[in-house]
Structure 1
Amino acid sequence: MNKGREKIEWVKRNMPVLSEIKERFKEKKPLEGHKIGMALHVEPKTANLVETLRDGGAEIAITGCNPLSTQDDVSKYLDNEKGIRSYAKRGVNTEEYYEAIDNVLDFHPDITIDDGADLVFRLHSERPNQIDEIIGGSEETTTGVKRLESMESDNALKYPIIAVNDTPMKRHFDNVHGTGESTLSAIMATTNLQISGKNIVVAGYGYCSSGVAKKAKALGARVTVTEVKPRKALEAVMDGYEVKKMEKAIQKADIVVTATGNKNVIGREELKKINNGAVLANSGHFNVEIDLEAAEDLANNVKEIREGIKKYELSDDRNFYVLAEGRLVNLAAPLGFGHPIEVMDLSFSIQALSVQHLAKNPELQPGVKKVPQKIDEKVAEIKLKTMDIEIDELTSEQKDYLTSWKSGT
C-alpha cells in the first residue's frame, strides 16, 4: 500500500458521517452520468470526498486550489484510481497552477466544486463557452463565497453555486473549530514555540478568526483582536478580548494571525512598527493579507532560517518572521495538515449531499444558493448518531405551540 493510500485509510477511520453517505451513494448511484471538476486542497480528507463522489457514479477531475496545499502522494494515488484524474502538484508557479485548472476544465465537467472560486472565475473569464454545460457548483470557503457574491451583484455569475461555507454546520464547526485548531497547530509545529503566555494578535473576528482567538485564549495566550466592523469589534470586547487598531497591536505582538479574506491587513505602515521578533501567519485563503512586497522592500535581508520560516531583517536591527510564504498556514506550512479530520467529515458530507442536490435539481437558476436546511440538519443528525448521543424530540403539542400565533400570556 503506497503512502497516499495509507493516509486516506487513516482519515476514513475518523470520518464516519461521510462513510455512511458513501455507502448510500454506492447503492443508489445518485451521480451516475455526471462529470465533476474540482479545485480543492488535495490531501487525504479531500481524497475521501473524491472517492465518495466517484462511488456515487460520477467521473472526477481535480486539481489544487493553492500552490502549497497539495500532498503529492495523495494526488498520485487519486490519479491512478478508476474514474479519477488528478492534476494537482505541490509547489507549482502561477502559470502551472492555472494550467492545471485548465486541464480540469478540458474534462468538460457539468458540476464544479471550488475552494476560493479560482475554477469558477477561470471558467467565466477564459472559457465562457463551457458555462452552458454546467448545471451547478458548490463553494467551500469564505473567500470564495465573497468572490461569488461579488460576481452575482455584477450579474456576472452564470450558473447556480451552493455556498457550503455559509451553512451553520460549516461556519460553527469547520470555520471556528477547524480553522482555530489547525492554525495554531501549524504555527506551533513550524516554529516549535508555545502559545501560552504569548501576546497574540488576531486580525478580524469573523467565524474563522474568532476560532483562532478562542483557541489561543484557551491555550493561555493574551489575545488582542483587530477589526474594521463596529459590531464585530463590540462582540470581541464582550467576549473578553482587547480590541485595538493593528498599528498599535502589532507593536507588542509575539504572533499575529490574519484570517479576514482581505488584502494588506498587515501593510507597510504596520510592518514599520512591528515588534522585534514577531511571527506573522496567515490563515486566509490567498497570500495577500500580509503585504509581502512591502516586507521585501523594508527588509535589508531576507532568508529562510528553517523550512517554512522566512526572516526579514530591518535596518534598525529589528526582525520579523513570516510563515509558509504568507499562504494559509494550516495547509501550506511543512507540518500543516489542514483542519482536523472530524471537522472535515462534516464539511465534506455537506459537500457530497449538496452535489447530490444539484444533480437532482438541474433547473436551479444562476446565483449563490444556500445549502438546503434539511442537508445541514441531516449531517448533524448522522454525526450525533456516530457519537452515540441522543436528543429530545418535540411533542405534537410543542410543535403546535411553536407554530401558532394565537398563544399568548
Structure 2
Amino acid sequence: MTVLATDDLAARGAARIAWIRSRMPLLAAARDDLGRSRPFAGHRIGMSLHLEPKTAVLLETLVAGGAEIVATGNHGSTQDDVVAHLRAAGMTVFGSRDDSLDQHHANVASVLEAAPDILLDNGADLAAGIVARGETARVLGGTEETTSGGDRLRGELAGRVPFPVIVINDSLLKAIGENKHAVGQSVVESFMRLTNLMVPGRRFVVAGYGWCGRGVAHYLRQLGGKVAVVEVDALKAFEAALDGFRVASLLDLADWGEVFITATGRPGVLGAEFFARVADGAVLANCGHFPWEIDVPELMAGAASVIRMDEAIERVELPDGRHVVLLAGGRMMNLAGREPKGNSLESMDLGFLLQTLSLERIATRAAALAPGAQPVPDDIDREIARRMLRAMGADR
C-alpha cells in the first residue's frame, strides 16, 4: 500500500473536495449568506460526524459563518486525505481511518475537552459525553444527525439534556431526500462495488422498514432483486406488505435470504439464534449508524475460523461447515467499506443545509427552543424544500 506524505494527502483531499464543493449549490449560497451575517462568531462548534469530502464542505460553510471548529469522525469511516486538508486549513481535527474503537472514544473526549458551546453530533456521542462529564451548563445547544442518536436522546439521555438538540433525522425532507433515496441508492451501489455480485434474481432480506430500509428495499427491487422485509412495528410491516414485499420474521427468512442488510438502529438484530439458522454462504451487511446491529463479537466467538478476503470482506467459517460473509466488519457499509462514497452529493447538499440552518437557529435563538431532542423547525424545512426545488429546476 502506498503511504502518502501529509502534504500529498492534503493535496489529494483538496482536489476531491473541490469537485464536491462544485456540486453543492445550496451550501454555496449559504456560505455567502453566512459570510455576511456571521452568526457563529465567538462560538466553538464541536463535531462528531463522518469525515469525508461532503462533510468538509459543511465545515467550510460553518467557518465562513465565523465558527471555530473542533472535530472528529465516526469509527471506521474517517478519510485521511480529508482530515489532512482540514488540518491544513487550520481546523482542529482528531482521528484517522485506522483508529481503534478505544481511540475513537479518545477522539470524542478530545473534542469535549476543547469546551465547545455548540454540538454537531452523530449518534449522540458528544451529548452523552457532556452529560457524563456534568458540563451541560456551558453548552448552548446542538444538532443530531441520525435516528440512532435521536433514539439515545429520547431513551438513555431523556431528561438529562437541558439544552435544545435539533434532530435532523426527524425532518421529513431528510427522510425522503437523504434516507430513502440517497441511502437506498448508496447502500445498493456499495453492495455491488464491495462484492461484485449480481443484484437481479438474488434474494435479499432488509431488516427494518424505516426510511432507510424503505429506500434499500425499493432500490434492490428496482434492480431486479427478490426482496423480503423484517419489521417489528405492525404499521410499518403493513406498509411493506402493501408495497409488495414479502414480510416475515427474521428466523423464518434465515434460510431463504442470500443477503441480509440491517437498517434498524437497534443492537443485536442478527444474533446467535440467527447465526445458528442462516443459510450457508449468506452475506451480512449493515447500514445503520452503530456497528451493533450485527452481533459481530457473538459471530466471531462462535467461528471455527475467519478468512480476510480483502479489507471489506471476511469469510466466517462456522463450526458445522456453513460459512457467512461479513461486509465492512459490520460497520456502515456505504461509508466504512472499500472506496467509500456515501450518499449522493445532492442529498447531502440538502441534508447539510438542514444542519447549517439548524445550527444557525441554535446560535441565534437557542433560548426560544425547548430543552432536549426536537424536530427541525417547520419554517427551516419548508425554506430548504423551496431552495432544493429551485436547484433541481423542478419547475422547468
What TM bracket, shorter-length normalisation?
A: over 0.9
Which range is displaced more, 33-42 or 93-102? 93-102
- Secondary structure of the residue that 2:254 maps to in structure 1? helix
Which of these residues, 137, 142, 153, is aligned with residue 142 of structure 2? 137
Which of these residues, 121, 131, 140, is aligned with residue 124 of structure 1? 131
CA RMSD for the aligned pairs?
1.3
Q: Any stretches of 5+ residues in structure 1 without a counterpart?
A: 392-409
TM-score of the superposed pair, with normalisation by structure 2: 0.95
- Secondary structure of the residue that 2:96 maps to in structure 1? coil
The alpha carbon displacement at 1:140 in A equals 0.4
Are residues 1:187 and 2:191 paired? yes
Question: What is the CA deviation profile of residues 103-155 of structure 1, one whole-angstrom value per residue up to 9, with x for unaligned ones?
Answer: 11122111000111111111111x21x321111000001100110111453x2
Counterpart amino acid of 1:116?
A: G
Aligned residue for 2:168?
164
Q: Whole-Å Cα distance in 1 between the matches of residues 361 and 93 of structure 2?
A: 24
Are 2:136 and 2:161, in contact at CA under 8 Å, matched by a contact in 1?
no
- Secondary structure of the residue that 1:280 maps to in structure 2? strand
Are residues 1:21 and 2:30 paired? yes
Q: Whole-Å Cα distance in 1 between the matches of residues 223 and 148 of structure 2?
A: 27
Aligned residue for 1:312?
316
Which of these residues, 65, 76, 91, is aligned with residue 68 of structure 1? 76
Counterpart amino acid of 2:87?
A: D
The alpha carbon displacement at 1:317 in A equals 2.3
Are residues 1:90 and 2:97 paired? yes
Are 1:186 and 1:335, in contact at CA under 8 Å, matched by a contact in 2?
no
- Secondary structure of the residue that 2:166 maps to in structure 1? strand
The alpha carbon displacement at 1:316 in A equals 2.9
Aligned residue for 1:203?
207
- Secondary structure of the residue that 1:24 maps to in structure 2? helix
Q: How does 1:9-48 map to 2 (within 5 A)?
A: 9-48=18-57
Q: Any stretches of 5+ residues in structure 2 without a counterpart?
A: 1-9
Matched length = 386
Q: How does 1:5-404 map to 2 (within 5 A)?
A: 5-65=14-74, 67-82=75-90, 84-125=91-132, 127-128=133-134, 130-151=135-156, 153=158, 155-363=159-367, 364-390=369-395
Question: What is the CA deviation profile of residues 180-227 of structure 1, one whole-angstrom value per residue up to 9, with x for unaligned ones?
Answer: 111111111111112111000000111111110011011100000011
- Secondary structure of the residue that 2:366 maps to in structure 1? coil
Q: Whole-Å Cα distance in 1 between the matches of residues 102 and 340 of structure 2?
A: 24
Runs of 4+ in 1 over 3 A off after TM superposition: none
TM-score of the superposed pair, with normalisation by structure 1: 0.92
The alpha carbon displacement at 1:339 in A equals 0.9
- Structure whose CA Rg is larger: 1
Counterpart amino acid of 2:389?
A: L
The alpha carbon displacement at 1:302 in A equals 0.9
Q: Whole-Å Cα distance in 2 between the matches of residues 342 and 221 of structure 1?
A: 26
The alpha carbon displacement at 1:375 in A equals 0.8
The alpha carbon displacement at 1:296 in A equals 1.5
- Report the identity percentage: 39
The alpha carbon displacement at 1:365 in A equals 3.6
Q: Whole-Å Cα distance in 1 between the matches of residues 394 and 246 of structure 2?
A: 37
Aligned residue for 2:7?
none
Q: Whole-Å Cα distance in 2 between the matches of residues 290 and 355 of structure 1?
A: 33
Counterpart amino acid of 1:45?
A: K
- Secondary structure of the residue that 1:113 maps to in structure 2? strand
Q: Whole-Å Cα distance in 2 between the matches of residues 61 and 284 of structure 1?
A: 25
Q: Whole-Å Cα distance in 2 between the matches of residues 183 and 315 of structure 1?
A: 30
